[in-house]
Chains A and B, each alone.
Chain A
């Protein structure tokens, strides 16, 4: 067996919109490595992950086990690498909550993606994932969110919201919600939209004297605000938005 067989391919569901060329020089065991996080019963955990760096594959892979009644909150900005990728695998015990506020940003021919897989294994757990993607040039943004609800995970409440904003005609976003539900008393909601900056809002703002770059900054900021709104940690909320806006300012 050669090493290359172990690299992911587009046939792998969670890599279907990825940039496979960008991982060809990566050691295969990279795809075996995980950062493990356990949030103990009743505890709260929160973290901010920023993926930047310019070249090749920039990836973080987290496995988060949220125990009974615990809460995990992840804020993430994926804005680096030829391929920037955040993978998160979450298991939720009874009454646990997982919150994700994610942003992908990118231009040129980059791919930036967030891939989550949530297992609601026990009753009464909740999850809420909000991802906003802003891309320009010929860049791609992806959000692949799989939710498995086990047979006895009644009263699960899982929500996913994705919105993509394309600043140039060549950019694209993909969103793949995947729900595997084996319990019958659950609420799973997902929504996805893709758009451009609203032309009528742009003209309205210009008519009040705002130059095009200020208009773009205000509208993008408003768009990204969705991703941070549900995060409980105020410092995280502000840092995530600030870092995202700083990345956008780097756009020539």
Chain B
């Protein structure tokens, strides 16, 4: 589904990704782990198309199409979801309005009819229930006054509503307590663990991977994938630390 080949990217002239190659097929949940500063968030933003993140070399194909040629909103309509490490507050815009406009914009781009207000509310209620987020929260302004954990759950409710083919989740586990981690992890499994879908799960810690068991684990260091393995690689990292595992890479 996602083929990243020899990807180089920089921010304001500073090279962050240095020849990253990775591919994720349908039905796979591929965890990307790595120390701080390895380029994990940069990878997420480059895939999402954030302005200022400049690709200088390499290619990314998503479901056979050139992802890097698309605008951010076109990437979303093509089925890519980017879960933010720090979801953004949007004062004055309600979650309901935001998500309904977003869903219908994606549907329009795909040549589908707009979803009615009633059907949308039913869908939103179902996904909020899945993530144990009070429906009242969705009537409030986007992420305004939400706790760290609420923002992450709201992020997964958004993912549930938009129902992407592929999710890039950037440290979705950060800022979550054990109970919230379980809820969010179960949500990811319910929404994305599917033979037709793929996930790139970016995380610093192994604990999320105990709930969302990956099919593959890769280690990102200095802007490149230095090692790829099965779920056991995450346990090795947890036990021995990045330095030891990377030395053996």
Interface residues in chain A, defined as those with a beta carbon under 8 Å from any beta carbon in chain B: 198-201, 203-212, 214, 218-219, 221-223, 225-226
Verify B51–A208 contact, CB threshold 8 A: no
Is B98 within 8 A of A203, CB to CB?
Answer: no
Tell yes or no: B212 within 8 A of A by CB. no
Closest residue on chain A to residue B107 by CB atoms:
A209
Does B68 sit within 8 A of A, measured CB to CB? no
Is B162 engaged at the interface, CB distance under 8 Å to the other chain? Answer: yes
Do B88 and A208 have beta carbons less than 8 Å apart?
A: no
- 10 example contacts (A-B, Cβ-Cβ < 8 A) are as follows A200-B88, A201-B88, A205-B102, A207-B82, A208-B99, A209-B103, A211-B109, A214-B101, A218-B101, A222-B90
Give the distance in Å from the alpha carbon of A182 to the alpha carbon of B8 in the complex.
65
Query: Does B158 belong to the interface (CB within 8 Å)?
Result: yes
**Complex formed: what's the CA distance from A154 to B103 in Å?**
54
- CB closest chain-B residue, reference A206: B72
Known A-B contacts A203-B50, A214-B105, A218-B93; A209 and B87 likewise in contact (beta carbons under 8 Å): no
CB distance from A2 to the nearest CB of B (A): 50
Q: Which residues of B contact A211 (CB under 8 A)?
A: 73, 105, 109
How near does chain A come to B165, taking the closest CB pair, in angstroms?
13
> Given A198-B88, A210-B101, list of 6 further CB < 8 A pairs?
A199-B51, A203-B48, A206-B73, A221-B92, A222-B93, A226-B92
| Residue B106 interfacial (CB < 8 Å) | yes
Shortest distance from the beta carbon of B27 to any chain A beta carbon, whole Å: 24
Known: A209-B103, A218-B98. A203 touches B90 (CB 8 A): no
Chain B residues with Cβ below 8 Å from A207 are 48-49, 72-73, 75-76, 81-82, 84
Q: Which residues of B contact A210 (CB under 8 A)?
A: 73, 101-102, 105
Q: Which residues of B contact A219 (CB under 8 A)?
A: 90, 92-93
A201, A204, A221 interface centre (most CB from chain B within 10 Å): A204
User: Majority SS of interface residues in chain A?
Assistant: helix
Separation of A115 and B50 alpha carbons in the complex (Å): 41
In the complex the two chains form, is B102's CB within 8 Å of A208's CB? yes
Q: Tell me whether chain B's interface is mostly helix, strand or loop, or mixed.
A: helix
Closest 4 CB pairs of A and B: A222-B92, A209-B76, A206-B72, A209-B106
User: Could you say which residues of chain B place their CB within 8 Å of the CB of A204?
Assistant: 84, 87-88, 90
Query: Do B71 and A206 have beta carbons less than 8 Å apart?
Result: yes
In the docked arrangement, what's the CA distance between A210 and B99, Å?
9
Closest residue of B by beta carbon distance from A200: B88
Minimum distance in angstroms from B115 CB to a CB of chain A: 13
Task: Name the distance in Å between B155's Cβ and chain A's nearest Cβ.
Answer: 10
Q: What B residues does A218 contact at CB under 8 A?
A: 90, 93, 97-98, 101
B91 close to chain A: CB less than 8 A:
yes
Query: Nearest chain-A residue to B53 (Cβ)?
Result: A203
